[in-house]
Amino acid sequence: MRATQIEAILIRLSQERIEFVVIGGVAALAHGVARVTFDVDLCYRRTHENVERLCRVLAPLHPMLRGASPDIPFRFDVPTVLAGLNFTLNTDLGDLDLLGEVAGLGEYDAVQTASETLPLYGLPMQVVTIEGLLAAKRAAGREKDQEAIVELEALLELRKRPPEHRD
Amino acid sequence: MPSSPPAESAVARAIAFGVDITLLIENLRLTPTERLRRGEEFLKSVIAFKEEVQRARQRQDKA
């Protein structure tokens, strides 16, 4: 087990002008939840140009399908990505999930609409809002997400309070 | 911890659920990047701890 290098992945993709929105555990962490995450989840724009850039940037990181047998041939290239939608990958920088569609939100444009720009590692990045995270968690309807939903709702409420009234 | 949040509030529900609100309040004092770095550092320390426990078990099994 190893920690995914969040900073290295996000900076690399951002500097290469990949269109993506940070979602999932990293987005929740950036907003202030107190839980750790083992992978980076991103929603990516599925235009040919963006997928091409994405493949070019990720190729040196040797993306492989996570959990799949090494015997299964897999090539992370434009035809593969455009033929698929969501990919759970293992890379040299750790686990990376690329989603073309997010339950409860939709495809990239809808996820982007439900996002805000946050300064991460010195770069402006699109991060799904707490409200967006809540919509995705509620749509997933998983028992394990109940605590995360309650925590996100509390975070949303705390953020609306002036700092001096949070304690 | 927030002083007596209204019973119907999300904060009160979270406390009842067992969420440590003090951690959220602390995190809100940080920048988004600081939150991510803190999370990454914590995860690394958890992984290092798990690995140390595994090594200790292996040493114990060999003894």
Q: What is the pLDDT of residue B7?
A: 73
A20 strand-pairing partners: A44
Q: Which residues of A touch B (CB under 8 A)?
A: 1-3, 5-7, 26, 29-38, 118-122, 127, 146-147, 150-151, 153-159, 163, 166-167
For chain B, give the mean pLDDT.
89
Task: Dump pLDDT digits (tens) for A144-167.
Answer: 899 999 999 999 999 988 777 666
* φ/ψ (deg, to 5) at A48: -60, -45
Task: Identify the bridge partners of residue A65 per DSSP, sorted by sequence position.
Answer: A89
Show residues of chain B in contact with A37, CB under 8 Å: 39, 43
Helix spans in chain A (H): 6-15, 24-31, 48-58, 78-83, 108-113, 130-140, 146-160
Whole-complex ipTM? 0.87
- Provide the edge-to-edge strand list for the sheet that holds A94-99: A64-65, A87-91, A94-99, A39-44, A20-23, A123-128, A115-120
Collapsing DSSP states into helix, strand and coil, what is residue A115?
strand
User: Which of A30, A158, A163 has its CB closest to that of B32?
Assistant: A30
The distance in angstroms from the start CA to the end CA of chain B is: 47
Q: Where are the domains of chain B?
A: 10-62
Distances A112 to A6, A43, A45, A128 between C-alpha atoms, Å? 20, 9, 9, 7
Structural domain boundaries in chain A: 6-158
**pLDDT tens for each residue of B33-44:** 999 999 999 988
What CA–CA distance (Å, rounded) separates B27 from B29? Answer: 5
User: Closest partner residue to A150 among B19, B32, B35, by Cβ?
Assistant: B19
Please classify residue A110 by burial: count the beta carbons closer than 10 Å to its beta carbon, then call 0-12 exposed, 13-18 middle and 19+ buried: middle
* pTM to 2 decimal places: 0.90
Say how far apart CA A142 and CA A121 lie, in whole Å.
32
For chain A, which ranges sit under pLDDT 50? none
- The CATH architecture that domain A6-158 belongs to is 2-Layer Sandwich (3.30)
**Which percentage of chain B shows pLDDT scores above 90?**
73
* Cβ–Cβ gap B10/A33 under 8 Å: no
Confidence band, pLDDT 50/70/90 cuts, at residue B3 = low
| Tokens coding B25 | 């309040």
- The predicted pLDDT at position B8 comes to 84
Amino acid at A143: E
